[in-house]
Structure 1
Amino acid sequence: MNSTPTSAVITPGQKSRSMLERVIREPLLGPIGALLLAILIFSIITPTFLNPNNVSLILQQSVVVGILAVGQTLIILTSGIDLSIGSVAVLGTLVAAQALGTTGPFVALGATLLVCMALGAVNGGLVTVLRLPPFIVTLGTFTAIQAATRLFAGSQTYQVPEGPLTFLGTSFRIGTFSTTYGVVAMLLVYAVVWYALSQTAWGKHVYAVGGNMTAAKLSGIKSDRTLFSVYLVTGIIAMIAAWAALGRIPNADPNAYQNANLETITAVVIGGTSLFGGRGSVIGTLIGTLIVGVLRNGLTQAGVDSLYQNIATGILVIIAVAVDQFARRRTS
């Protein structure tokens, strides 16, 4: 007697669960979906949203925070957090502006690099040598750097003449699309750090340290050296962000980018990097940065008050953290 094989019936509930599990396994799917949905909604609501000039504006407005978010990603991947990265960049703009008065522009950029790397080394040293929690360390340095920045500047704003220090604000055209070298610099930073994380032993060590430091040490990874190097690289990235900031607005203001520290964390979390370390990517952070930029630009064009924009961004962060928590429970 021949039996007819029966095919398994997949219920809608099972389809939803399998789709959710796929999103959990592929952390980039959620941010990409959110970005595409936001673009679709705002292109319907505001007819000028996809105008090339507006797209260029979104990218330019995302440059400084987008670059800083790369450094924040590295810190969070190691299960830390950096509350001082924006303040380091602001101090870097002031160092460059003041040094320009007595030296050439390239010496001024070199001085900025040294200062930003030194501050990154201070954070890294306190975390690795004294074993202090990154949150407490960077909260302390954030407060100290903010005060030092105002003292250093004498609460003044310094104008920066057009030249090498403002070069990243120079625009150029690709066909009919206009952009700036700052956008190019941001994309290059993402590309270099992506390569370092995905194709080098250093990158594997960063993920290992963030995932489980004890296991990393037992496997022979020099965890403290890796952790210190991450903070040092973050200092270099802060210097590039400072240079890009001078290109965006050609003056060094001690009160600039007050919310940059929190905005970088927002971009990283929305981009799918786990606050618990060891999981995420700079590609996700780039998408997270664009989501925030698209959200703010689209809501502004729609006439929504900036306070409501902050509420929407905050809700997005909470959702992203909730998804991360759920993913950790599902995979543990």
Structure 2
Amino acid sequence: MAAVTKEQVGGFLARQGILVAFAVFMVGFTLANQRFVDPDNILGVIRSSAILGVMALGVTFVVISGNLDLSVGSMMSFSTIVVLDLHDKIGPALAIPAMFAMTLCLGAFIGFLVGYLKLNSLIVTLGMLSAIHGLTLTYSGGQNMDIADKEGTWFDFFGQGSALGIPVPILIFVLLAAVLGVVLSKTPFGRKVYAVGGNGTAATFSGIRRARVVFTCYLISAFCVATAGLLQASRSLGSQNTVGQGLELEVLAAVILGGASLLGGSGTIFKTVIGVLILGFIQNGLLLVGLQFYVQYVVTWIIIILAVWLDIAAKRGKLWSPIA
């Protein structure tokens, strides 16, 4: 039997490090507190992670295409405020599609700037982060939003309801992950996303309409953000106008932790889901072992660094290199 080399071990950890890390975290927190593996706790963590997870699904498309989207946090705040405001004005049946249409317009605008005008996605979405935040404050007049009649609306079904004993947010997250997973891995469009992210110039010369692919990825991301806004608004039936502030970093951490490369061309929906769950279970585990909530920010930073390290290691086939 051939001996396993250090390079082979490093290569395996670089490719499957996310799954190894997930197992290590689960075992470690279980040993620290038996409540961690309680079925109610596990279901609660997944439910609380569903909003972040839904957003991460769309950003996965953007990152694989070789771009970034730092506007999703502000866009989620906008979606949440809009649907809550329109709920009392025109009713939930019209408020929901109206909110989706407005959010998709924002996504289309970003997709146009990045895809067709070929502007840098980091600069564009960083600018849109501030612009959409200002738009949200202008729309709301700087005020938070609440539904007037919280007892007489069916709107809370999306965030608080359950079907077959499973919370609706989890069902929406799983269903959307399944659909987008098939789109990314089994359709011609999905192959084009990987091609554009892997080598945009080569993709263009092979006949792929690069601008259209990038534009569509931002539309998918906006749709997922609108869905997350719907879940957030439905769960609380009220919201601050900064509810999504800072979520863009957590979303990006989950996507990269799931194996999507910042350079584009790699990543899967399944591993993004794993990345989301790792963040959720880490936050839950830290609270169960008695650490303060603000420790999560430090841990999230460490996770981002670890994820980028694994990303680079996967490119070179080993975890470390003697060459600086």
Q: Which amino acid aligns with 1:172?
A: S
Q: Map of 1:242-281 to 2, 5 A cutoff?
A: 242-281=229-268
Q: Map of 1:187-206 to 2, 5 A cutoff?
A: 187-206=174-193
Q: Which amino acid aligns with 1:281?
A: T
Q: Secondary structure of 1:193's partner?
A: helix
**Percent identical residues:** 32
**Alignment correspondent of 1:20:** 10
Q: Secondary structure of 1:255's partner?
A: coil
Deviations 1:280-332 (A, max 9, x none): 1111110000000010000011111223222222112111101211222339x
**Alignment correspondent of 1:52:** 39
Equivalent residue pairs, number: 315
Give RMSD over aligned pairs.
Answer: 1.7
Corresponding position: 1:316 with 2:303: yes
Instruction: Give structure 1 stretches of 5+ with no counterpart.
Output: 1-7
**Alignment correspondent of 2:26:** 39
CA distance in 2: counterparts of 1:9 and 1:222, whole angstroms: 47
Corresponding position: 1:300 with 2:287: yes
CA distance in 2: counterparts of 1:324 and 1:209, whole angstroms: 19
CA distance in 2: counterparts of 1:171 and 1:98, whole angstroms: 21
- Contact 1:182-1:247 at 8 Å conserved across structures: no
Q: Which moved more, 1:243-252 or 1:282-291?
A: 243-252
Deviations 1:125-163 (A, max 9, x none): 111222110011101111011011112112222223353
**Alignment correspondent of 1:5:** none
Q: Map of 1:101-140 to 2, 5 A cutoff?
A: 101-140=88-127
CA distance 1:98–1:309, shift in 2 (3 Å): closer
Q: Higher RCO, 1 or 2 (CA under 8 Å, sep at least 6)?
A: 2
- Contact 2:145-2:241 at 8 Å conserved across structures: no
**Alignment correspondent of 2:321:** none
Aligned to 1:226, which of 213, 223, 235? 213
**Alignment correspondent of 2:322:** none
Q: Secondary structure of 2:317's partner?
A: helix
Q: Which amino acid aligns with 2:6?
A: S
The CA deviation at 1:170 is 2.8
The CA deviation at 1:195 is 0.2
The CA deviation at 1:21 is 2.1
Deviations 1:215-244 (A, max 9, x none): 001111111111111111111111111111
**Alignment correspondent of 2:313:** 326
The CA deviation at 1:15 is 3.4
Deviations 1:57-99 (A, max 9, x none): 1011101111001111111111111010121121111111111
- Contact 2:160-2:167 at 8 Å conserved across structures: yes
Calculate the TM-score normalised by the size of structure 1. Answer: 0.90
Q: Map of 1:90-101 to 2, 5 A cutoff?
A: 90-101=77-88
**Alignment correspondent of 1:159:** 146
The CA deviation at 1:9 is 5.5
